[in-house]
Amino acid sequence: MSNRVEERAQTPADDDFQLVSSCRKGEIDAFEALVEKYQQKMLNVAYRMVGDYDEACEVVQDAFLSAYRSINKFRGEARFSTWLYSIVLNLSRNRRKQIKTRGAREVYSIDAPAETEEGPLRMDPPDPGPSILEQMEKKEVDARVQGCINGLDSEHREVLVLRDIQGFSYEEIRDILKVPDGTVKSRLFRARDALKECLKKVLGDL
């Protein structure tokens, strides 16, 4: 769980400084370099937050455009990437609310039977044979896991996505979400616990 954190800690803190400065001077190519650098991570954060690939693509585009518009307001107090992720998280939250409002998407509940592409998931008792996880195709596992993530509250989902999926450090998460360390830790504990219970339901034995 901590591999990505280590990777991240090795990244220099101000490696985007030059590109951001160029952007402020109106060099569009510099911004293009930043888009190139962060689009995948941004998309993955948005996808795990929103739960829909196309919607996530929209969110990422809006987030980059929003960042470009307000790049002069970026003071460099935090890292550029932190600032960028806070934008995409905010937009993801808003997008999710919109989706909920228009009822276009069923939200997974930890207690309700999980939904899959093939319909409601049967809640069979654990099989004594090989683990269901091993039998299932990876794609399907991913879909069920995403279903459980979607079922989490927004604030729990955020910390889970940032910490356990994207591997951000506690410090970075604190900066992105602008909440104290303790809050991050307690949210993360609840998020993992809730997800564990959900996964046990949808995947059988862990």
Residues that bind another protein (CB under 8 A): 1-4, 26, 28, 31-32, 35-36, 39-40, 43-44, 47-48, 53, 56-57, 60-61, 64-65, 68-69, 133, 138-139, 141-142, 145-146, 160, 164-165, 185, 188-189, 192-193, 195-196, 199-200, 203, 206
Residue 2, SS3 per DSSP: coil
Our separate counts of H helices and E strands in the chain read 10, 2
Smallest distance from the beta carbon of 29 to another protein, in angstroms?
9
Smallest distance from the beta carbon of 2 to another protein, in angstroms?
6
Smallest distance from the beta carbon of 151 to another protein, in angstroms?
14
What is the C-alpha separation between 29 and 25, in angstroms, rounded? 11
Smallest distance from the beta carbon of 91 to another protein, in angstroms?
13
Instruction: Rank residues 71 and 107 by Cβ distance to another protein and give the closer one.
Output: 71
- For residues 7-43, one letter each, b for 16 or more C-beta atoms within 10 angstroms of the residue's C-beta and e for the rest, the string is eeeeeeeeebeebbebbeeeeeebbebbeebbeebbb
Instruction: Rank residues 3 and 10 by Cβ distance to another protein and give the closer one.
Output: 3
Smallest distance from the beta carbon of 178 to another protein, in angstroms?
21
Instruction: Rank residues 77 and 123 by Cβ distance to another protein and give the closer one.
Output: 123
Spatial neighbors of 37 by CB under 8 A, at least 6 apart, are 16
Amino acid at 84: L
Instruction: Rank residues 62 and 78 by Cβ distance to another protein and give the closer one.
Output: 62
Question: Does residue 202 contact residue 112 with C-beta atoms inside 8 Å?
Answer: no
φ and ψ at residue 119, rounded to 5 degrees: 115, -170
Instruction: Rank residues 71 and 103 by Cβ distance to another protein and give the closer one.
Output: 71
